[in-house]
Structure 1
Amino acid sequence: MNRIVPPPPPPPALRSLQDRLARSTLAEESRVHQPASFASWFAAARERSGLRVDRMELDGLRNWYRDPRTGALRHRSGGFFTIDGLDVRFPSGPVSQWQQPIIHQPEIGVLGLLAKEFDGVLHFLMQAKVEPGNRNHLQLSPTVQATRSNYLRLHKGRAVPYLRYFQERTRHHVIADVLQSEQGAWFFRKRNRNIVLEVTEDVGVEEDFRWLTLGEIYRLLAVEDIVNMDTRTTLSCLAPAGGGVDGVPDTGDGFRKALVRSCAGEPGGVHGMAELLSWITEHRAHTDLATRPVPLGELRDWHSSPERISHDSGRFFSVIGVAVSAGTREVGGWSQPMIEPHGTGVIAMLVKEIDGVLHVLMRASAEPGYVDGVELSPTVQCVPESYEVLPGAARPRFLGDVLSAPPERIRFTCLLSEEGGRFHHALNRYLVVEADGEAGLLEDRDHRWLTLNQLNALLRHSHYLNVQARSLVACLHSMLAPRPR
């Protein structure tokens, strides 16, 4: 006999979800009584973590080995991830062929965020979590941030806190639930489940967890290296709109009003959704990027030493080994390979007010690790130093516009880390820059103007916005929150 699963309890009646998100965005402090300030709580979590990361030779990594046939780096459990070799052919691209190491992690991880209403305001249960690749070790993470190997406890360590909520999600109200990609240049078809659940029951708060409003999280997003990548991609699923965001005075130049109208979708954008979907589909149907596996030990233009696998030019990235000890993770110590980028990236969106509505210039980009070949990326996404060894045609069209923008046109800037579980000190400068010149002249085959409302609509589906674009959508949403006085 089939068991009847009762429906999840309804969320508190506060108009639409977008209005409730807007109210949380405008909340400057938590409505939950918590014994310490955020700064004190975060500092105490850092002190408890005891994280230490040391470089070590790749062949000395505990529980890892090189495949005798291909040279791939594999974990002895058969889980977690492997470092493989990939051959890429892209006849229509500025670089028609190359080979590289790439992370192969076919399992789907969980990036889960618990929400609960306190005193009429949505709060989100955030975690202070250490990762070996974080430059500052500790960052603000979602409630659950776990690979399948972790939550199946292949490491034989402690269970992942709060995981049961996301395994029993039919008991709760689902706000968002979507599979999304990770970095297509470093991961091969990697996906994570971005899920936000609202609960009405009491939730015990463990030591390294804290309830925060969207407004509090968004203000922290403007602070260097506090809000991690997994939080940013999960936040991008939450689109504040409605009349509530009109509660903060404008910036004085109309920018914030244009941003509010862009989120609300009234009036519409310069392109309709059917036209934009056709543009994306056209790119996906005609991209000629093709990949095939090749032995890691035989990659052209790459060399292997006991310490690292690096490109002959010294650019792009290396594969390194690290030994980790941590007091607040599921296991006390482990070792692993990591990707170490060479250079700080520039991730930028050009924005422009068109008919009173803020629009974002998005690029249809092909990367070897994407499931669907093409996803929308920010206007500029690159490591500028890499172009010293690449053809001139590879240089992003708008990189000069971003790097030379005067301060008054830079609406958001912050140095943020990428995922610290696989990448070692992967830093990018995230920027929102007002475009100069006529909007129509900036579009070409690869670039289109979209509103925030259109981007939010695409984010309800898988594989439309890449992880860098999702981070910048969260940054744009954060600009609706009140600034510190």
Structure 2
Amino acid sequence: MHKASAALTSRGSGTGSGTGGEPAARLAVSAAATDGVAMSNAAFFEWFDERRREQPQQVRRIPFSELSGWGFDQATGNLQHRSGRFFTVHGLRVRSDFGPVPEWEQPIINQPEFGILGIAVREIDGVLHLLMQAKSEPGNINGVQLSPTIQATKSNYSRVHGGSAVKYLESFHRPAPGSVLADSLQSEQGTWFYRKRNRNMVVEVGPEVEAGEDFCWLTLGQVNALLGFDNLVNMDARTVLSCLPDWQPAVTGEVSDGAPATSLHSAMSLHSDTEVRSWLTQRRIEHEIITTALPLNDVTGWERWDDRIEHERGRYFSIIAVDVSSGRREVPAWSQPLLHPSGVGLAGLLVRHIDGVLHALMRARVEPGLLDIAELAPTVQGTPGNYAHLPAEDRPPFQEELLERSTEQALFDSVLSEEGGRFHHAECRYVITEVADDVLETEDGLRPGHEEFRWMSVTQLGELLKYSSQLNVQARTLVAALRSVR
């Protein structure tokens, strides 16, 4: 739990509607309301505990032969749904000059359709609130987590499964003019998904939109504090939160010329916005990554058993099958494949102040499933156990610096779940650690040989998040977390 979590204390509640204004200013007021307005913090935890009791979910691992509606294609061995929708698990051959392994083969999840991840916001007693959902997912380690207003693939909201309609969908399919606060296509895990992207949206709605049984209105300050609790705010909520307009000043202290601090972020950053975009573009064209789809039957280095597909040395992940029963989903019972990681991941961000401006050390990381070759990633990203067999020089740069400082100097340190609809018990430790100005210092701010790293201001990251495929999903969680503790 991060240091700001203590701010989650309780206060009285109220309802009503408020006035408009600039999104950043209104979000700042909501972020400051850590004690709640429409729902007190004590009332939230009571409500959330009740939702968990009311959403009992049973998830049982089964052999592949017991999957209903899913099967292995006789010709290719690909694992797919009989409708041709949802997703397919097939093979991928990768050749890349990024990282210590130049060539490998692996299974990967291919879900070509776009999904919608959206949070509805509205004013209550003059304060913006976020409509959050208590939602069970088959892969969640603890069943119910706090989710966006809507998270649904096209197969889900098109009701391919024959289930009930997705609530609040119309607010995002046809938002009212002037109601959209954020809207961009964002990637998901590029090592597990093949070119998967979801539409991340924040849409303002009117007082006629009320919270349903599994939904509640929370201030941004309340949601920010909940990020510090292990496995509470799910991945889909975190990525949408990162796309919110940045409500915080770009610099510490006063700005002498009276200009808004947020308008000066590029001039006061170590690198200008143009330099950052040019550098990322350069990394994309300089790196080589060639991916070739393979039949799952032809993937080398992986073994298929009755109940799993796993790497021959037990690393990385496995593909399993589960049977699910849930009383609060569009479909009450189903079975499906899930990806099960080999260990708890680590995603860490080193941050420092440069001339009063908070900067994060970002890495241009190449992943085989990304549409644009490379995206901005955290300083450190990976599953440490997958690198343990490698010599020290081939392990992720800055991992030791991050871990050495994480105990005493961490601004944020929580274990959070990854997407529970496709991954089984996938957890990642997210860490943000501030370093002194003289740490990692050279003339250009970095050690020699680390061309794929750049110090970037937090406001620059917010600007990039207005557009598609700039920051990867782990980096977006850390942007949301960093804003919650600034």
Fold shared, TM-score > 0.5 on shorter chain: yes
Q: Check whether the contact 1:262–1:359 (CA below 8 A) recurs between aligned residues.
A: no
Question: SS in structure 2 opposite 1:164?
Answer: helix
Which residue does the alignment assign to 1:441? 446
Query: Residue 441 of structure 1: SS of its match in structure 2?
Result: coil
Task: Give runs of aligned pairs for residues 15-164 of structure 1, distance below 5 A.
Answer: 16-32=22-38, 37-91=43-97, 93-164=99-170
The equivalent of 2:337 in structure 1 is 337
Structure 2: gaps of 5 or more residues: 1-17, 254-259
Aligned-pair CA distance for 1:384? 0.6
Structure 1 distance, partners of 2:304, 2:341, is 16
SS at match of 2:405: coil
Paired residue for 2:410?
A: 410
Normalising to structure 1: TM-score of the pair?
0.90
- Alpha-carbon deviation of 1:407? 3.1
Kindly state the Cα deviation for residue 40 of structure 1 after the two structures are TM-superposed.
Answer: 1.1
Preserved contact between residue 359 and residue 449 of structure 1 (Cα < 8 Å): yes
Indicate whether 1:238 and 2:266 are aligned. no
Cα deviation, residue 295, structure 1: 1.3
Q: 1:264 to 1:128 in 2, by over 3 A?
A: farther
CA contact (8 A) 2:346 2:383 kept: yes
Amino acid paired to 1:456: G
Offset at residue 19 of structure 1 (A): 1.1
Query: How far apart, in 2, do the equivalents of 1:60 and 1:428 lie?
Result: 30
Task: Kindly report which structure 2 residues correspond to 1:246-257, keeping only aligned pairs within 5 A, or say none.
Answer: none
The match for 1:272 is 272
Counterpart in the other structure of 2:9: none
Work out whether residues 345 and 384 of structure 2, in 8 Å CA contact, stay in contact via their aligned partners in 1.
Answer: yes
Is contact 2:105–2:300 with CA below 8 Å preserved after alignment?
Answer: yes
Residue 192 of structure 1, CA deviation: 0.2
The corresponding residue for 2:7 is none
Assess if the C-alpha contact under 8 Å between 1:263 and 1:451 holds in 2: no
Which whole-Å CA distance do the structure 2 matches of 1:426 and 1:394 have between them?
24
Q: Do the aligned residues in 2 keep the contact of 1:28 with 1:216 (CA within 8 Å)?
A: yes
Note if contact 2:39-2:217 (Cα within 8 Å) is conserved in structure 1.
no
CA 1:299–1:390: 2 relative to 1, 3 Å:
farther
**Counterpart position of 1:483:** none
Residue 229 of structure 2 corresponds to which residue in structure 1?
A: 223
Listed one character per residue, the Cα deviations across residues 202-240 of structure 1 (whole Å, up to 9, x for unaligned) are 113210000000000001000111000000000001134
Could you tell me whether the CA contact under 8 Å between 2:350 and 2:434 is conserved in 1? yes
Q: Do 1:229 and 1:417's aligned partners in 2 also have CA atoms closer than 8 Å?
A: yes
CA contact (8 A) 2:321 2:337 kept: yes
Query: Conserved in 1, the CA contact under 8 Å of 2:406 and 2:433?
Result: no
Q: Tell me if 1:13 matches 2:20.
A: yes
Give the drift of 1:199: 1.3
Name the amino acid aligned to 2:423: F
CA contact (8 A) 1:26 1:245 kept: no
Q: Report if aligned partners of 1:23, 1:245 keep a CA contact under 8 Å in 2.
A: no
TM-superposed deviation, 1:32: 2.1
> Which residue identity lines up with residue 20 of structure 2 in the other structure?
A
- Tell me what 1:3 maps to: none
**What is the number of residues matched between the two proteins?**
457
* Structure 1 stretch displaced more, 163-172 or 281-290: 163-172
Query: Partner amino acid for 2:25?
Result: D
Tell me: CA distance 1:367–1:438, structure 2 relative to 1, closer, same or farther (3 Å).
closer
1:111 is paired with a residue whose SS is: strand
Deviation at 1:118, TM superposition (A): 1.2
d(CA) in 2 for partners of 1:63, 1:33 = 42
The whole-number CA distance in structure 2 between the counterparts of 1:266 and 1:274 is 9
Which residue number corresponds to residue 5 of structure 1? none
Shift of 1:13: 3.2
SS at match of 1:471: helix
What SS does the aligned partner of 1:78 have?
coil
Residue 13 of structure 1 aligns with an amino acid whose one-letter code is G
Cα 1:196/1:388, change in 2 over 3 Å: same
In structure 2, the residue matched to 1:315 is 315
Which digits, 9 at most, give the CA deviation of each residue in 1:232-271, with x for residues without a partner? Answer: 000001134357999xxx9xxxxxxxxx978973862100
Does the aligned pair in 2 maintain the 1:261–1:357 contact within 8 Å? no
Note the C-alpha offset of 1:146.
0.4
Residue 34 of structure 1: how far off its partner (Å): 8.0
TM-score of the two chains, using structure 2 as the length reference: 0.90
Q: Percent identity?
A: 48
Partners of 1:432 and 1:317 lie apart in 2 by 25
- 2: CA distance between counterparts of 1:402 and 1:34? 36
Deviation at 1:168, TM superposition (A): 1.4
RMSD, matched Cα: 2.2
**In the alignment, residue 12 of structure 1 is paired with which amino acid?**
T
Q: 2:135·2:145 contact (CA, 8 Å) conserved in 1?
A: yes
Change (3 A) 1:100 1:389: farther
Q: Distance in 1 between matches of 2:440 and 2:75?
A: 56
Alignment CA distance shift 1:434-1:236 (3 Å)? same
Q: Does 1:204 align with 2:242?
A: no
Matched, 1:428 2:441: no
Aligned residues of 2:366 and 2:375 also touching (Cα < 8 A): yes
Number of the residue aligned with 1:292:
292
The 1-side partners of 2:55 and 2:134 are apart by: 9
CA distance in 2, matches of 1:422, 1:109: 13
Distance 1:170 1:144, change over 3 A: same
Change (3 A) 1:244 1:215: farther
Alpha-carbon offset, residue 287 of structure 1: 1.5
Q: Assess if the C-alpha contact under 8 Å between 1:115 and 1:122 holds in 2.
A: yes
Deviation for aligned residue 1:163 = 0.6
